[in-house]
Structure 1
Amino acid sequence: MSPAIKCLILLAVVALLFVTELIPLAITATAAAVACGLLGLIPAKQVFSGLSNSTVVLFAGMFVVGAAMFYTGLAQAIGNKVVHICGTGENSLMFGLMLVGTVLSSVLSNTGTAACLLPVALGICSAAKIPASRQLMPLAFACGWGGIITMVGTPPNIIATGAMTAAGLPAFGFFEFAWIGIPVSVAGMLYMMFIGKHLLPKVELDADQEIEQEIEANETSSTKMIISGVILLAVVVVMALGIKGITLEMAAIVGALVCVLTGCLTEKQA
């Protein structure tokens, strides 16, 4: 059997396990990497060589900095404020959810952003007698396209930047993705507001429906909220300015360390 066929079979098995979640996702991913070495698809010494890539460090740092926003409750507070300002009208609520989802997911976890806004959307939909599904799908889309606005908005952007650097080519700038990301986001919002909303399903959900959160807020201190917001802003500014001598990885890790030192989240949570 050729290596190509082996690779396709392995990919199919991994995809099946990811979809069905018969075993934990982390185990599936790790086992797949080991299988690549055992099957001879890549040299055994290269199975985990990717972990030494600086891009992995950048991921780790930004995940912690972003998580601090959720643990302190700042992301949830921003979502609550914006959505309540937009009111309970179906169109205005849809616009508010998409706007805050797009902005937050541009620098935070897409999944985390959607998760923290779900209870807000369900509560307002229940009070306003609006089918929740007509708001949750636009929110999900907004959190998806929001990630393509900045370099740290979604992992593929960081990976592409790392590949450019590894190839000896000029890396993408922090906001360089925005030239495409912002027009796509605006187009997506306009489509959902004027066309997509007519195709959305009408499914009622209760405001008190149990929702599995990626990260639960465990802080109510407004001081911690401000600190986590300032840290994220500082990290983004340093990355965007491209200050000489400070790499993206260094900025992310310093931000993560400060988040832990200031108590925005615990060492275990980080």
Structure 2
Amino acid sequence: MLEAVTAGGLPLATGGLAGGLTLDMLVVFGVILLALVLFVTEWLPIDVTAIFVMVLLILLGPDGVVNLTQITTTEGVSGFSNPATITVLAMLILSSGINRTGVVQILGRKMANFAGNSLNKQLLATIGVAGPVSGFINNTPVVAILVPVVSDIAHKGKTSPSKLLMPLSFASMFGGMLTLIGTSTNILASDVSDRLLGQPFSMFEFTQLGIIVFVVGSLYLLTIGHRLLPERVPPEEDYIQEYDLEPYLTEVVIGEKSSIAGTTVGDAIDAAEFDADILGLVRDDETVIDPSKNTRLRVGDTLRLRTDRETLDELVDSEILTAAGTPETDAELEPDDAVDQTIVEVVIPRGSFLAGETLASSTFRQRYDATVLAFRSRGGTIQEGMEHKRLRVGDTLLLQAAPDSIDRLSRNDDFIVAHEPDDPEYRTEKIPHAAAIMLGVVGLVAVPFEAIGAWLAAATGIGAFTGLSALSLPIMLTALMGVVAMVATGVIKANELYDAVEWDVILLLAGIIPLGIALEQTGGADLLGALVAATGNYLPVIGVLWVFYLGTGLITGVISNNASVVLMLPVAVEAATAIGANPFAFVLAVTFAASTAFLTPVGYQTNLFVYGPGGYKFSDFIRVGAPLQLLLSVVTVLGIAFFWGLRPA
């Protein structure tokens, strides 16, 4: 190992640079800049970026090749054993257990019955279910569950899904701020606050302010927000027009000279040579949707193809096929005698193995017995050359498949199917068990057993009552106890535990936590905090607090919300200390800003889930989210000042 270049932060030049800048600070800032670039560009998945950052910090630490980050191997991997990481892991399993009981879906159906054809009722029902539920179940799976419910409500009520899906995502963020366990960001921020200030969050630490944020945000969505949203997706469900597929769908006839007469569907068209898929077969006035690969083709058969005009011309010119016509609506592609809806949208959620793959590398058609007609990615629609386009989290695929294939997809955690299955498999009989377990998880953290025991001891003179304080347990322990209880009662099966965990979230937390430690240990947080504190010469304390809220919101818009908390909290604490402000108030401002990221679809996972099904453009989030972010910045900062004060107690 090379000799350390600096021990404890040797100045870069004699006397150091302005503000005491040192070489190890510069290295950590460089790692942060590299991480930001990777997060924004998505050259690597965010969880892989986080692990790369962790490895880089260790390599540049005292146990690596040169001591420039002060991060030992033990500190570098400490994110895996961090209470926040373990708590988030347990909460994801608990959320999955509740989801498997179908309780959220049942609430969704009641929501549909209430909503009817009124847009205001539909919005009220969407917000009224998504918000409160997200306070006690991690808000990411809540949105994943409600996307198909809300999409169905919209189409049945003759409303564009675009009017409801973004409010669904935003409402889940409001709800996530009602309790400590509403979002992984809160849990991580609590752990960082405990490390920096010795003051973690209690279960209902910010519920009072969370309720205010929820009410104000909901009123905005009900009055102004939905009016700013365009109808990107038509109320009437017609995917061909919605995805602009008319130029890519056609009917062809197998002529007498056709070279594919007598071959099977699977061998008829060389996928490597032609970008075309056989979607249906018409023979003797009988239509077969998604024919078997072993079906043998005959002269006179009419095939329904998905292909571009250039490929069609090649097929016709080579006398393989003869053009016949183009279906213009879903009804033509999917005739009335079809047994069920066979065209459906699916969203790629976080944790799906398809993220980062292509349709070709994932052998999509063979694996799922489904054909991709088109897909949306980051606001754009792709209809040709799809096989080798890399898929990303939030992409929405338009599929054609047999009804039983779609049912299998709805039960696959690699997809969010944008329609509820007709016969869902829920463990409704386990709802009481799941509710009791979650009540226990929350109650053992939230109930003030110590105060109750002291009061009973004083009132009765029985000192043994003080032992009730032992019932107050940390959230990490109660969450793990809840996981064991859910398996023991059959709410979730042991072999489902691993699928319930969003491992990319866990790896992100484990990889990014050491970066915050490096920022603190090298003095980088002190330096940045001092720079921001300089604004205190021109702004009152509440103004500096507002700057931190806005800054965190902007950063979260381009990187992970968890990453922004890790980077911003140490700086916020140092800045608050430098200007003599209440550091806990600054911690809360950063936490609220990171958990309510409305400006872009990539800053928060729930926004990605609704991006494709809502047909949104990137600018739609800015149009609706920017006024909301500004409004809540004022409400949140004033609320923090009122409830917690701006000066240390």
The TM-score with structure 1 as length reference comes to 0.88
| Shift in alpha-carbon separation, 1:220–1:159, aligned structure 2, 3 A | closer
* Equivalent of residue 439 in structure 2, options 222, 229, 233: 233
* One-letter amino acid matched to 1:44: T
| Shift in alpha-carbon separation, 1:128–1:86, aligned structure 2, 3 A | closer
After alignment, is 180-189 or 96-105 more displaced? 96-105
Q: 1:252 aligned to 2:479?
A: yes
d(CA) in 2 for partners of 1:35, 1:107? 36
* Equivalent of residue 98 in structure 1, options 127, 131, 138: 127
d(CA) in 1 for partners of 2:225, 2:86? 39
Summarize deviations over 1:140-195 as a string: whole Å, max 9, x none. Answer: 10011211110111223223333444457454321121111100010000011111
Contact 1:103 1:146 in 2 (8 A): yes
Contact 1:82 1:96 in 2 (8 A): yes
Aligned to 1:180: 209
Aligned to 2:151: 122
After superposition, the CA RMSD in angstroms is: 2.5
* One-letter amino acid matched to 1:211: V
Q: 1:222 aligned to 2:428?
A: yes
d(CA) in 2 for partners of 1:200, 1:14? 33
d(CA) in 1 for partners of 2:81, 2:431? 33
| Shift in alpha-carbon separation, 1:14–1:165, aligned structure 2, 3 A | closer
After alignment, is 2-11 or 146-155 more displaced? 2-11
Q: CA deviation at 1:213?
A: 5.2
d(CA) in 2 for partners of 1:257, 1:149? 25
| Shift in alpha-carbon separation, 1:242–1:168, aligned structure 2, 3 A | farther
d(CA) in 2 for partners of 1:126, 1:16? 39
Aligned residues: 270
Aligned to 2:644: none
d(CA) in 1 for partners of 2:221, 2:111? 19
Contact 1:14 1:28 in 2 (8 A): yes
* One-letter amino acid matched to 1:176: E
Structure with more helix by fraction: 1
After alignment, is 47-56 or 178-187 more displaced? 47-56
| Shift in alpha-carbon separation, 1:170–1:18, aligned structure 2, 3 A | closer
* One-letter amino acid matched to 1:150: T
Contact 1:74 1:229 in 2 (8 A): no
Say which one has the larger Rg: 2
Q: 1:7 aligned to 2:28?
A: yes
Contact 1:69 1:225 in 2 (8 A): yes
| Shift in alpha-carbon separation, 1:3–1:80, aligned structure 2, 3 A | farther
Aligned to 1:44: 72
What secondary structure, in the 3-state scheme, does the structure 1 residue paired with 2:70 have? coil
Q: 1:267 aligned to 2:494?
A: yes
| Shift in alpha-carbon separation, 1:56–1:20, aligned structure 2, 3 A | same
* One-letter amino acid matched to 2:445: M
| Runs (5+) with no aligned partner, structure 2 | 1-11, 13-22, 61-67, 239-343, 351-412, 450-468, 498-649
Q: 1:209 aligned to 2:230?
A: no
Contact 1:151 1:173 in 2 (8 A): yes
* One-letter amino acid matched to 1:238: L
d(CA) in 1 for partners of 2:165, 2:197? 42
Contact 1:119 1:211 in 2 (8 A): no
| Shift in alpha-carbon separation, 1:29–1:187, aligned structure 2, 3 A | same
Q: CA deviation at 1:47?
A: 0.4
Q: 1:85 aligned to 2:114?
A: yes
Aligned to 2:219: 190
d(CA) in 2 for partners of 1:23, 1:170? 35
Contact 2:85 2:188 in 1 (8 A): no
| Runs (5+) with no aligned partner, structure 1 | none
Aligned to 2:308: none
Aligned to 2:50: 29
d(CA) in 1 for partners of 2:176, 2:112? 20
After alignment, is 258-267 or 108-117 more displaced? 258-267
Contact 1:110 1:154 in 2 (8 A): yes
d(CA) in 1 for partners of 2:111, 2:445? 27
Q: CA deviation at 1:220?
A: 2.1
What secondary structure, in the 3-state scheme, does the structure 2 residue paired with 1:209 have? strand
Contact 1:59 1:155 in 2 (8 A): yes
* One-letter amino acid matched to 1:232: M
* Equivalent of residue 166 in structure 2, options 129, 137, 144: 137
Q: CA deviation at 1:250?
A: 1.7
The TM-score with structure 2 as length reference comes to 0.39
d(CA) in 1 for partners of 2:191, 2:493? 29
d(CA) in 2 for partners of 1:110, 1:22? 27
Summarize deviations over 1:92-130 as a string: whole Å, max 9, x none. Answer: 101110111111111112211111110011111112221
What secondary structure, in the 3-state scheme, does the structure 2 residue paired with 1:65 have? helix
Contact 2:191 2:200 in 1 (8 A): yes
* Equivalent of residue 69 in structure 1, options 74, 98, 101: 98
Contact 1:3 1:41 in 2 (8 A): yes
What secondary structure, in the 3-state scheme, does the structure 2 residue paired with 1:204 have? coil
Summarize deviations over 1:37-93 as a string: whole Å, max 9, x none. Answer: 223323223101233333333222222111111223222222222343233311110
d(CA) in 1 for partners of 2:113, 2:70? 53
Aligned to 2:274: none
Contact 2:114 2:121 in 1 (8 A): no
Contact 1:66 1:232 in 2 (8 A): no
After alignment, is 61-70 or 178-187 more displaced? 61-70
* One-letter amino acid matched to 1:187: V
Structure with more strand by fraction: 2
* One-letter amino acid matched to 1:68: G
Contact 2:123 2:222 in 1 (8 A): yes
